A and B are shown apart, each in its own frame.
Chain A
Amino acid sequence: MNSGGVGKRLTIAPYTLWMSVFVVVPIALVIYYAFTDGHGRLTLENMKSIADYGKTFFMSIKLALFSTAICLLAAYPVAYGISRFEARRQQTTIMLVMLPMWMNFLIRTYAWMTILEGNGLINRLVRAFGGEGFSIINTNGAVVLGMVYNFLPYMILPIYTVLTKIDKSTIEAAQDLGANKASIFRRVLLPMSVPGIISGITMVFVPAVSTFVISKLLGGGKTFLIGDIIENYFLGNTGSVDYNIGAALSLVLMALILISTTVMNHFDKDMGEGGGGIVG
């Protein structure tokens, strides 16, 4: 082994240490708790009890999918628009897209609470114009809104990145071969931006399916997501503390996320290998 190898190992040592202490150990603990009972005896009871939360899992996935779809539909035109700007304007706009992310996630979600609540900004405006107030907060809609707002930049950025990487002459070549704007989009831009769309979907779906802050603040306890349940088992806000069931639920959620990202990555790779005719 040469000295360069040793140097390289040394530079990644702090990260390796960090990862083992804060990722590997916690995961091991989660697995331990998930398969033991309160007295440290091996059991499958925790796993069995997960069946009771089927509905919550379903709801979490449904809302996460819904927000991911809205993010995709909203982000693609924005990303496309930005990628057509001249270089300097692109930088400024991308900075504006990222600007909210520089502020604490919790504060931004609280801000939405004051906007959406019964006496919040929207309702006051509506009443000022003689309308009748209506309830927005504490609905599934409000939770989806919160997710879309918080995770939209994670969808815009990767799509924007792949779109800027598309060589202008590729578009010109399509034009040259007879493609009008719609065909260029369908046959060139869209298929070529699939890698960005995939990573955008992953980056939005994963935090959305596991969130608990957004559903707590904007769902007001009415929309209970799997993240909320796990939080409750660990902190005991509404019931008894039970690390074991909490850990089992976390494990299942992790497995779920792992499966979905693997499927996504696989799809991405298929596209990258030039599997022709997918759109043709």
Chain B
Amino acid sequence: MTSNHLISLKDISVSLGGEQILSNLNLYINDKEFITLLGPSGCGKTTTLRIIGGFLEPDKGDVMFGDKRVNGVPPHKRRVNTIFQRYALFPHLNVFENIAFGLRIRKLPEQEIRQTVEEMLGLVNLAGFEKRNVNSLSGGQQQRVAIARALAVKPKVLLLDEPLGALDLKLRRDMQVELKNIQQSLEITFIYVTHDQEEALSMSDTVVVMDGGIIQQIGTPLDIYNEPQNAFVADFIGESNIIDGIMVKDLCAEFAGCRFKCLDKGFAKGEPVDVVIRPEDVDVVPVEKSMLSGVVTSVTFKGVHFEIIVDVNGFKWMVQTTDFEEVGSVIGLYIEPDAIHTMKKSAYSGLYGDYSSFSDEIDLLSDVSYEEESVSDE
């Protein structure tokens, strides 16, 4: 059977230093697709990228480019190029020579090299920077040089390993838009690795959520957000309240002591499920009109909205609302049928989704540990 996938990973397993990094991973990548591998540090996303790039050989499984098996083919013979996490520019060469590096290796005529480099510099908005020393550039500019350098050799596939990780928030947003534009105008495939869910959702055609060396879900950003397959995905992408529930029958779920109309069906009658409700889908209503009511335990101003934590019979819900609610006041909550998403129970059930231990400080701490891990990863 000939596949029309540009790249296929079949049954890939990798262990490094006795630790299983990837187990039986299957991934198919289409031409001109913007696909993002998303997951926490140590989930195997960078390993997957390195396997495609040829920097790492899987213990088991096939790496296919089209119909050709490329296991064992060294990186310099693969038509994919990588943007490295820390740019990896050549410090002894100026901007022009950095971008020309791959072209010089290919022994192209000087005229063509000059033309391509100029074109690439224009593409990444660095025209006029030819003679600059790469060490004198800002992080964002260095990243642009790295992108231009990789694109200069006209790859069919560009691999990007957390390319915006070291940039500040505003610059990161700008670069996201720019990268997406570059991908669309050049019509090449981007395989993008990140642990930033917002980045993944805003740029990708397809998001691959990974954890523990296993793909948790593959889908469009909308699918991933609205129809998470398990508690891990629901928790990792955005904020979510995940509650133990039972599917009473099709279109009816029971949780938090009430029965709710919902749009899900196909479960067994009485099957235990995880119910996901996004904080922005919970409406605050007067208690007498509500399905659930609880006490406000904390309020955080987030700019566009308030993030309030509501204690409903011991389970703490996160609710996003534009109206201020007093801490200690009793409020009612209302949930529309289409805001309820039910998922089959998984190994992740019960691990996420209750905001009782939630605080911004804890969020911050876990972010720090991500960074540290990703450094020790390498």
Contact = CB atoms under 8 A, between A and B. Distances in A.
Given A175-B74, A176-B76, A280-B97, A191 B92 contact: yes
Contacts of B104: 187, 280
B96 interface: yes
Contacts of A170: 88-91
A69 interface: no
Nearest to A167: B88
A274 interface: yes
B111 to A, nearest CB: 15
A198 to B, nearest CB: 13
A275 B82 CA distance: 25
Contact of A172 (B75, B92, B96, B153): B75
A169 interface: yes
A177 interface: yes
A180 B76 contact: yes
Nearest to B136: A274
B84 interface: yes
Q: DSSP class of B's interface residues: helix, strand, loop or mixed?
A: mixed
Which size bracket describes the interface of B in this complex? Answer: 20 to 34
A172 B74 CA distance: 11
A179 B81 contact: no
Given A274-B93, A274-B133, A175 B88 contact: no
Interface string B76-115: 1000011011101111111011001110111000000000
B114 to A, nearest CB: 12
A188 interface: yes
Given A273-B133, A274-B134, A280-B104, A176 B75 contact: yes
B370 interface: no
A183 B134 contact: no
Contacts of A173: 82, 84, 88-90, 146, 149
Nearest to B96: A276
Interface in A164-206: 167, 169-170, 172-180, 183, 187-188, 191-192, 194
B57 to A, nearest CB: 14
A67 B75 CA distance: 39
Contacts of B153: 177-178
Given A180-B76, A194-B92, A172 B55 contact: yes
A78 interface: no
B67 to A, nearest CB: 23
Which of A177, A183, A274, A280 has the most chain B CB within a 10 Å cutoff?
A177
Given A177-B149, A178-B153, A271 B53 contact: no
Which of B55, B93, B96, B100 has the most chain A CB within a 10 Å cutoff?
B93
Nearest to A175: B75
Contact of A178 (B55, B89, B102): B102
Interface of B: 53, 55, 74-76, 81-82, 84-86, 88-94, 96-97, 100-102, 104-106, 131, 133-135, 146, 149-150, 153
Interface of A: 167, 169-170, 172-180, 183, 187-188, 191-192, 194, 271, 273-278, 280
20 contacts: A170-B89, A172-B82, A172-B88, A173-B82, A173-B88, A174-B90, A175-B74, A175-B75, A176-B75, A176-B81, A177-B81, A177-B149, A178-B76, A178-B102, A183-B105, A187-B105, A274-B93, A274-B133, A275-B94, A277-B93
